[in-house]
């Protein structure tokens, strides 16, 4: 059995391609929303739960997992570290799919780079104007603790738990943009104009995450961008494109899953 830790568009593509090859797959997502985006198919189990390292080890044993593919978001650092440690402990092969970062060379003049969310929030304290926050709901409180919530327009997933969180942090309905992305450049431009945005806050989620479209929209409208760096993770067995990853999965499937040979 192959475990795919997903939650991204790349992950769903990998799941579909593994399913098309007839491989038995278990899909793990952090949320029910993410699980609902995975296409139901024969031979594919989908579950959603946040697991720490010990819980993940129990899950791997219970499910008979012989190979783990980590296709989580580039900013889900703790999840990836737990997966690598659990796999090493149980001698389960670990493969990482890591989407490529965005080429930002031509956007340098309009950008301010920060190492993490806290540094971004600290920087924003000394700025003026409306902020379009496109970093998701998980870290909203980092920003609302340091910045007047009236300045922040949060673009988040349209789920009831996310909306409750936004309201609990003091967001008014007019400052919540509840939509599923990614968004085109033109749509980003319209949002920037509609909410009179002066600063866009984002992560480097790559092409699949819509980062280039955000940067192009910011450049067209003349606003600045705060870019939060990817967290440093020492991934093992990392692949930057899906075909190479699938070739390795096929190789390991023959060696480990069919013949039970260690990796």
Predicted local distance difference test score (pLDDT) of residue 256: 65
Contacts 24+ apart (CB under 8 A), 237-241: 237/93, 237/94, 237/95, 237/96, 238/96, 238/97, 238/98, 239/95, 239/96, 239/97, 239/98, 240/97, 240/98, 240/99, 240/100
DSSP state of 253: I
Task: List the single range of 99-103, 193-197, 237-241 with lowest mean pLDDT.
Answer: 99-103
Predicted local distance difference test score (pLDDT) of residue 49: 77
**Residues 188-217, buried b or exposed e (16+ Cβ, 10 A)?**
bbebbeebebbbbbbbbbbeebbbbbbbbb
Predicted local distance difference test score (pLDDT) of residue 255: 76
pLDDT band, very low/low/confident/very high, at 34 (cuts 50, 70, 90): low
Distance CA 131, CA 138 (A): 17
- Asked if pLDDT for residue 72 goes beyond 60, the answer is yes
Query: Is the N-terminal amide bond of 27 cis, ω within 30° of 0?
Result: no
Q: Write out pLDDT tens, residues 176-222.
A: 999 988 899 999 999 999 999 999 999 998 887 889 999 999 999 99
pLDDT band, very low/low/confident/very high, at 263 (cuts 50, 70, 90): very low
Q: Average pLDDT for residues 3-15, to the nearest whole number?
A: 87
Q: Average pLDDT for residues 46-66, to the nearest whole number?
A: 88
Identify the bridge partners of residue 176 per DSSP, sorted by sequence position: 154
**Complete DSSP assignment for 89-153:** HHT--EEEE-PPPP--GGGGGGEEEESSHHHHHHHHHT--SEEEE-S-STTHHHHHTTS-GGGEE
- Asked if pLDDT for residue 114 goes beyond 60, the answer is yes
Q: Which two tokens stand for residue 212?
A: 């280039």
Predicted local distance difference test score (pLDDT) of residue 226: 98
> Residue 199 belongs to what H/E stretch?
strand 197-203
Go through the domains of the chain in sequence order and give each one's CATH number. 2-100+232-258 (3.40.50.720), 105-228 (3.40.50.20)
- Asked if pLDDT for residue 44 goes beyond 80, the answer is no
> Among the ranges 4-8, 14-18, 209-213, 220-224, which has the highest mean pLDDT value?
220-224
C-alpha to C-alpha distances, 3 to 28, 75, 149, 188, nearest whole angstrom: 7, 20, 40, 35
Measuring CA to CA, which residue among 209, 173, 169 is closest to residue 188? 209
Q: Which is more confident, 12 or 169?
A: 169
């Amino acid at each position: 059995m192959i475990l795919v830790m997903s939650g991204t568009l790349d992950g769903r593509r990998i799941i579909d391609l593994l399913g098309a090859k007839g491989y038995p797959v278990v899909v793990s997502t952090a949320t029910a929303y993410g699980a609902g985006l995975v296409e139901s198919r024969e031979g594919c189990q989908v579950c959603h739960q946040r697991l720490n390292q010990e819980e993940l080890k129990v899950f791997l044993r219970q499910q008979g997992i012989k190979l783990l593919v980590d296709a989580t978001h580039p900013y889900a650092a703790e999840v990836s570290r737990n997966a690598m440690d659990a796999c090493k402990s149980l001698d389960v092969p670990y493969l990482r799919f890591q989407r490529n970062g965005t080429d930002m060379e031509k956007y340098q003049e309009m950008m301010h780079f920060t190492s993490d969310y806290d540094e971004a929030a600290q920087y924003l304290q000394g700025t003026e104007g409306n902020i379009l926050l496109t970093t998701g709901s998980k870290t909203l409180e980092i920003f609302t603790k340091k910045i007047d919530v009236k300045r922040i327009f949060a673009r988040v997933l349209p789920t009831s738990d996310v909306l409750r969180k936004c309201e609990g942090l003091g967001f008014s309905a007019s400052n919540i943009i509840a939509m599923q992305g990614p968004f085109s450049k033109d749509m980003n431009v319209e949002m920037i104009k509609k909410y009179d945005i002066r600063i866009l806050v984002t992560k480097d989620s790559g092409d699949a995450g819509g980062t280039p479209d955000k940067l192009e929209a910011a450049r067209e409208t003349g606003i600045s961008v705060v870019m939060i760096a990817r967290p440093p993770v020492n991934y093992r067995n990392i692949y930057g494109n899906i075909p190479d990853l699938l070739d390795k999965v096929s190789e390991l499937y023959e060696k480990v899953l069919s013949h039970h040979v260690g990796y």
